[in-house]
Structure 1
Amino acid sequence: MTGHPRPEPAIWRPQGRFVANIASLRQLQVFNDRGGIAVNFDTMRSVSPNIAIAGSQSETLSLWETRSSSGFVTKPKFDARLITIRFVSSGHIVYRRRSGNIDGLPTHATLVDFDDLREVHASNAFSAISGTFAVDTLMAANEALTGGDDRGLPLLAPLAEVATPGMKALFLSLQQVQRRIQGIDRHDDLIFPLAREVLTYQLLSAWPRRIASPRSGTRDVPSRSLRAALDYIEANLSNALVLADVAAAAGISVRSLQDKFRREIGLTPVQFIIDRRLAKAHLDLMSSAKSTLSIADIARSWGFVHMGDFGQRYRRLYGRAPKETRQGSRHSA
């Protein structure tokens, strides 16, 4: 892979098309040993694997679609200078990174540096389309896109709201290119190099930017204040929260708080609070210790008093109804 020694073919190899339907632990082990992709798969608890993957990969661009009713865990096999973007259509995914965790949701696409990644947890009833780009490829595209004014890689945010026009267009392009490369010989496809180039330009143009890192010798005030706000929210999720209190805990104004959340996380503070409370409710619904509580009791404990609203928000985030999550957790217990 670009920037690192190339792995052995059993660990990673270019593939014009790869397809895997994994329905047993034996098939999972064989795929990990021989599949030739950049991560190892595992399952959570005693769940039997049910994972379907179809895609194509090269040293400059890999595209694939994943579907799993069981959920899964992946860990990188090696270090590589790669950037992975993912659009989740159902369920959710958690990236455990050295620089901090982020959640991928149907409402927000993710962008992760492969070298920063520790492991990935995908929920049950999960589906997504993903793309991995070589950092060198993106840097060259950025230089061409800006006419040589910018020779590095922009500081891209880890999360991007998918409802914006640019992100919608990026998703459709990713989907179309992923479908096009299935079952064809790239060497005979004169359109693929152009489609790949346009895809990199769309990514660089549509994806939101992070706040630039402070210069050496300066204090990381934006990150520190945002972390204080996140810590305050996490400690008070089960209590009434107002933005003025969150901003005061972070030592900034409400306007600065809103701006930091939009620019650094890709969510408004209110959206973030709601999503975190939904995540807590999701964990309670799967917990055997909370199995005697009704779904309404769990929802109310995290501030959701209107069950219709709770059900709609939960389904948008996790791709299934709260009742289905509870039933699934009982079956896997």
Structure 2
Amino acid sequence: MKGHGPLDPATWRPQSRLVASITSLRQLQVFNDRGGIAVDFDIRRSIQPDIEVVGSQSEAFSFWETRSASGFVTKPKFNAELVTIRFVTNGQIVYRHRTGKALGSPTHATLVGFEDLREVQASSGFNAVSATIAVEALVAANDALTGGTQVGLQPLAPIAEMTLPGMQALFCTLRQVQSRIQDVSRHDDLIFPLLKEVMSYQLLSSWPKREQSKPIAKKDISRHRFQTALDYIESHLSGTLMLADIAAAAGISVRSLQDDFRRRLGSTPVQFIIDRRLQNVHQDLSSPTKAMHSIGDVARRWGFVHMSDFGQRYRRLYGYPPSETPRDAARHH
């Protein structure tokens, strides 16, 4: 939360999971006093509230899903170097700044900073998913993505059309992150940190810029560096893997890493990592030395904590569910 001094926990605090259902002005006031989030609901301008909030927040990333039959008005509690991206799925939202206003709707996603934001007003029948990201985290992601060839962040436009393929991909990733917040056991989820990292790169690559930048010439990377990236992935498959760390180990930018994976393997680095972990699950399930381990234990060892998602991925790769992996033959081999 760079940009302000230490805060009282009632003003802001990290929260791995926050769930609130507000149906009275009294509850709204209590939430303001105890919510610990970066905005206050405007009690004076509220009618009988009907607001549901599910989220998670930390110093670098916060994720929210908001539903409100009544609508609401919020104001930032403090100035901070933060940006919020919001995808409205129903209704609309208006941001009022010192210099004007911006409108978010199901056809147009929004990006706003806290530095000059005065208030936010959501309509009745409002639904949205949002992410708030520290500017410091975005700068670090941009350095990793470009390999330090681009100094500073390019100014991002306040509005983005949802018809753009890149915006739909970003929305899909944010949806996946939001769905995993519901799982209290996500500390074992090795895909969750990757999704947050990828979301930053998607935002930086896909969100429209205020000014058109000159294209940067892409540099091919040597096969040796690509092999270094593969070796790094292989040696860290059972732990947390971040694209920035893989790229740093190979001495390249994240963008070069992504481009080379697409060109050489026809895949993204994230899909490659997931497939290699699925292959290790399959190998363990087929191994006579691990025949007594449950499918759930083996899946969790390789970072799959959502069994439904794991089962679907496994079936797509092997053509049959994990339960039909020939374990009996391995046991008696």
Please classify the TM superposition score into its range, dividing by the shorter chain length: 0.5 to 0.7
| CA 29–186 in structure 1, closer or farther in 2 if over 3 Å, else same | same
Q: 2:257: which partner in 1?
A: none
TM-superposed CA distance for 1:181, in Å, is 2.0
Query: Within 2, Cα distance between the matches of 1:202 and 1:212?
Result: 17
TM-superposed CA distance for 1:45, in Å, is 4.9
Amino acid aligned to 2:51 = I
Tell me if structure 2 keeps the 8 A contact 1:107–1:162. yes
Give 1 or 2 for the bigger CA radius of gyration.
2
Tell me if structure 2 keeps the 8 A contact 1:43–1:49. no
Query: Within 2, Cα distance between the matches of 1:28 and 1:75?
Result: 14
Structure 1 length-normalised TM = 0.61
TM-superposed CA distance for 1:192, in Å, is 2.3
Q: Is the aligned partner of 1:210 residue 2:210?
A: yes
Query: Within 2, Cα distance between the matches of 1:139 and 1:185?
Result: 29
Structure 2 length-normalised TM = 0.61
Amino acid aligned to 1:125 = G
Q: Is the aligned partner of 1:3 residue 2:7?
A: no
Equivalent runs, 1:233-248 vs 2, <5 Å: none
Give CA-to-partner distance per residue, 1:140-162, whole Å, 9 cap, x none: 11111111111311110000001
Length, aligned pairs only: 213
Q: 2:127: which partner in 1?
A: 127
Identical aligned pairs, as a percentage? 66
Query: Within 1, Cα distance between the matches of 2:165 and 2:37?
Result: 32
Amino acid aligned to 1:183 = D
| CA 45–2 in structure 1, closer or farther in 2 if over 3 Å, else same | closer
Equivalent runs, 1:1-40 vs 2, <5 Å: 1-40=1-40
Q: 1:311: which partner in 2?
A: none
Secondary structure in 1 matching 2:27: helix
Equivalent runs, 1:176-255 vs 2, <5 Å: 176-185=176-185, 187-211=187-211
TM-superposed CA distance for 1:39, in Å, is 0.4
| Highest RCO, 1 vs 2 (Cα 8 Å, sep ≥ 6) | 1
Give CA-to-partner distance per residue, 1:252-306, whole Å, 9 cap, x none: xxxxxxxxxxxxxxxxxxxxxxxxxxxxxxxxxxxxxxxxxxxxxxxxxxxxxxx
TM-superposed CA distance for 1:189, in Å, is 3.1
TM-superposed CA distance for 1:186, in Å, is 5.1
Tell me if structure 2 keeps the 8 A contact 1:16–1:183. no
Secondary structure in 2 matching 1:139: helix
Q: 2:68: which partner in 1?
A: 68
Amino acid aligned to 1:23 = T
Amino acid aligned to 2:193 = P
Give CA-to-partner distance per residue, 1:11-49, whole Å, 9 cap, x none: 111111001100000000000000111100135756200
Tell me if structure 2 keeps the 8 A contact 1:92–1:103. yes
Tell me if structure 2 keeps the 8 A contact 1:56–1:182. no
TM-superposed CA distance for 1:187, in Å, is 4.0
TM-superposed CA distance for 1:115, in Å, is 1.3
Query: Within 2, Cα distance between the matches of 1:57 and 1:25?
Result: 24
Q: 2:97: which partner in 1?
A: 97
TM-superposed CA distance for 1:8, in Å, is 1.1
Query: Within 1, Cα distance between the matches of 2:25 and 2:156?
Result: 37
Equivalent runs, 1:139-154 vs 2, <5 Å: 139-154=139-154
Secondary structure in 2 matching 1:53: strand
Query: Within 1, Cα distance between the matches of 2:97 and 2:143?
Result: 28
Equivalent runs, 1:266-281 vs 2, <5 Å: none
